[in-house]
Amino acid sequence: MSRVIYLDHNATTPTDTRVVEAMGTYFNEQYANPSSIYKFAQEANEAKEIARDKVAQIIGAKPNEIVFTSGGTEADNFAIKGVAFANRNKGNHIITSKIEHPAVLNTCKWLEKQGFEITYIGVDKYGIVDLDELASTITDKTILITIMHANNEIGTIEPISEMTKIAKQKGVYFHTDAVQTVGKITTDVNELGVDLLSLSGHKFYGPKGIGAIYIRKGTKIDSFIHGGHHEYNRRAGTENMPGIVGLGKACEIAIKERETDEKRIKILRDRLYNGIAAAIPDIILNGHPKHRIAGTLNICVKYVEGESMLLNLDLEGIAASSGSACASGSLEPSHVLLAIGVAPELAHGSLRFSMGHNNTEADIDRVIEVLPPIVKKLRAMSPFGK
C-alpha cells in the first residue's frame, strides 16, 4: 500500500510501535488469566496493576478509581447508565449538551425511553457550553451532568472546571467524555473537578478495544457488566490483557511526550489553515480559535459538498473526514455544526483534518497543493459555484 497522508487522527491513531511491542508478550507468552492463583497468573495481574497505575497517573487519579472498559463508548454508557440507575431514588433528570459524541447522545436518548428526562443544552458559535443555561437547568431532580472535555469534530475545549463548580454547589454528579483530550492535553480529574471520566486507548496511539472509566471514590454507580469479580465487581469479564498493557504503555509515552508533540502538531495545524485560507476563498473556520485541541482543523468550504471533496482527496492519497450527511451515511449533516449555528448547506461542505504524531510539513504542504484545485473544479460544477 502506498503511503497515506493520514489526517484523521480524531477517528483513530496508529498504534505506537512501542505499544505494540509491549502488548506482544501478552498473547501467547504471558497469556494467564490474571484472576488465577498461581504465580504465572500473578505476574499477569501485576502487569495489569502497573498499567492501571499509569492510567491513573495520566489523569491524576488513584489506581482503584480506574476501571478498564472496551473503549470510550463503553465508558460513556457505563458512566451515564450506571449513575442514572443507581441514583433513581434521588431524581430522573440528566443534563448534557447538543454537541456530545453519539456514545453520550444515544445513551441519553435510550434513557429517555426508560423514564429519564434529558436536557440538551446549547453552545455558542465556537461550541462552548452556555454556563448560565447549565446553572438554570439544574433542578432538585438532576442527578448527572455529562459534558465532553473537547469536541471530536471541531476540537473546542469546554470549561469543565467552571461547570463542575456549579454541579458541586447543587450536589450533582459530573461526567466528562475526555476521549479526545486524554493523552493530548492535561486532563487532571481534580483540576477538572469531575466525578467520572471516559477515555479511550486508540485515540492516543494505544490499541483499539480498550479504554477506561474513572470513578471518583464514593460515587454512587451501578455495575455495568455483570459476572465475575473483575475490576472491583464493577465490570465483569476476563481482562483484555494485551489491550490493558497497551493502554498503560500509551499513557506512559503520552505523559512524557504529549507536550512537545502537541506544540509541533499545533504548528502543522496552523500551517494547514493558513495555507488553505490563502488559496481558497469563501471558507469558514469552525471551532474555538484559541480553546481548541491542537490537532483539529474543521472548515466549511462554501458551494461544495464534503463527500465529493473527500473522494478527490482520497484519490490523492489523503485521508480526512467531513460532517456532510453523505459522508456519514445519515440524512442530516453534523449535529455539532448545526448546534454552533452553521447553516445546513454549509455543514454539508465541511472538512475535518486531524493531525497527529506521524504528520510532517510535507504532508501539510501536499494538502495545501491539492485541495485548492479540487475545490475549484467542484465549484465550477456547482449551481452555487463561484
Partner 1 sequence: MAYSDKVMDHFMHPRNVGKIENPDGVGKVGNPVCGDVMAIYIKVKDNIIVDIKFETFGCGAAIATSSMATELVKGKSIEEALKISNTVVAEKLDGLPANKLHCSLLAEQGIKAAIEDYKLRSPNVKAQSSKRE
Please give the Cα distance from 51 to 86 (Å, whole number): 28
Asked if 381 touches partner 1 (CB under 8 A), the answer is: yes
Which residue, 181 or 312, has its beta carbon nearer to partner 1? 312
The one among 56, 143, 325, 367 contacting partner 1 by CB under 8 A = 325
Binding region for partner 1 (CB under 8 A) out of 103-111, 125-133, 259-267, 341-349: 341-349
Q: How far is the CB of 202 from partner 1 (least distance, A)?
A: 22
Asked if 350 touches partner 1 (CB under 8 A), the answer is: no
Q: Do the Cβ atoms of 86 and 220 come closer than 8 Å?
A: yes
Q: How far is the CB of 25 from partner 1 (least distance, A)?
A: 37
* CA angle, residues 332, 337, 340, in degrees to nearest 5: 135
Task: Give every CB contact of residue 265 below 8 A, 6+ residues apart in sequence.
Answer: 294, 295, 355, 356, 357, 359
Q: Do the Cβ atoms of 363 and 15 come closer than 8 Å?
A: no
Q: How far is the CB of 14 from partner 1 (least distance, A)?
A: 21
* CA angle, residues 152, 60, 155, in degrees to nearest 5: 15
Q: How far is the CB of 345 from partner 1 (least distance, A)?
A: 3
b/e per residue, 264-298, with b = 16+ CB within 10 A?
Answer: bbeebbebbbebbeeebeebebbbbeeebbbbbbb
Asked if 329 touches partner 1 (CB under 8 A), the answer is: yes
Count residues near partner 1 (CB under 8 A). Answer: 27
SS3 per-residue string spanning 103-163 = HHHHHHHHHHHCCCEEEEECECCCCCECHHHHHHHCCCCEEEEECCCECCCCCEECCHHHH
Which residue, 124 or 332, has its beta carbon nearer to partner 1? 332
Asked if 327 touches partner 1 (CB under 8 A), the answer is: yes
Asked if 255 touches partner 1 (CB under 8 A), the answer is: no
Q: How far is the CB of 299 from partner 1 (least distance, A)?
A: 17
Please give the Cα distance from 369 to 58 (Å, whole number): 38
Which 294-323 positions form the footprint of partner 1 (CB under 8 A)? 303-308, 310-312, 314-315
Which residue, 278 or 311, has its beta carbon nearer to partner 1? 311
First-to-last C-alpha distance (Å) of the chain = 37
Asked if 11 touches partner 1 (CB under 8 A), the answer is: no
Asked if 281 touches partner 1 (CB under 8 A), the answer is: no
The one among 1, 37, 331, 362 contacting partner 1 by CB under 8 A = 331
User: Which residues of this chain interact with partner 1, rule CB under 8 A?
Assistant: 303-308, 310-312, 314-315, 324-327, 329, 331, 333, 344-345, 348, 380-385
